[in-house]
Chain A
Amino acid sequence: AQKVTQAQTEISVVEKEDVTLDCVYETRDTTYYLFWYKQPPSGELVFLIRRNSFDEQNEISGRYSWNFQKSTSSFNFTITASQVVDSAVYFCALSEPNYGGSQGNLIFGKGTKLSVKP
């Protein structure tokens, strides 16, 4: 069965600290997609990144970086020099191929609530 586990329910850091959000997934497929979404207090889910299972290269986008390790079934997200505006709930999600090989519905973890204090 497919499953996403975000073991950290809440994390609190002080501004400018680095923080890593953990994500562990389970799937029996060899082809799958992994995602991170941000849900600020306003409630709207914001897409951050998608990775497919064949691409294990780490990715960096500004202060955000993602570490994908198939060997440990993990897809961790690091925010460098955190800011108050990073305060939100962050969701990791998994998708398996659907019709035609593209991604299907998303299976979300329970989320990690990040609070960045000034």
Chain B
Amino acid sequence: DTGVSQDPRHKITKRGQNVTFRCDPISEHNRLYWYRQTLGQGPEFLTYFQNEAQLEKSRLLSDRFSAERPKGSFSTLEIQRTEQGDSAMYLCASGSSYEQYFGPGTRLTVT
């Protein structure tokens, strides 16, 4: 399967813990996006990479969130000192200039 993959698919953590998610994009795509989706809502943009450069960050991305794409391939999204409000589906998408293809998401539950 050459689609976008995300790991883990599910994560349960206690409030205050740090978590890290990984996204592996489609290999030929140089653009990578992170979105967050809460129940009953559409996905909301968090941040965008072109190759290894992080070019855009949403105001939703608080100081507790950091994303990297060190070699322009896979990306990681870390949340420090998790809060219950961070519970959501975290979606990664990769794309060419005109389309974005989404991975299956990582569902985070903060207890």
A residues bordering B, Cβ < 8 Å?
Answer: 4, 33, 37, 42-47, 50, 52, 91, 93, 98-100, 102-111
Contacts and interface: CB of A to CB of B under 8 A. Distances in A.
Contacts of B102: 37, 44-47
Nearest to B102: A45
Contact of A110 (B40, B91, B101, B103): B40
Nearest to B107: A43
Contacts of A98: 48, 56
A45 B43 contact: yes
Interface of B: 33, 35, 40-45, 48, 50, 55-56, 58, 89, 91, 93, 96-105
A105 B105 contact: no
Given A44-B104, A47-B101, A103-B98, A108 B44 contact: yes
Given A44-B103, A45-B102, A47-B101, A105 B45 contact: yes
A103 B56 CA distance: 13
A105 B56 contact: yes
Contacts of B97: 100, 102-103
A45 B94 CA distance: 12
Contacts of A103: 97-100
B98 A102 contact: yes
A110 B56 CA distance: 23
22 contacts: A42-B104, A43-B104, A44-B103, A45-B43, A45-B91, A47-B102, A50-B98, A50-B99, A91-B42, A93-B42, A98-B56, A102-B96, A103-B97, A103-B100, A104-B48, A104-B56, A105-B48, A105-B56, A105-B58, A106-B33, A106-B35, A111-B41
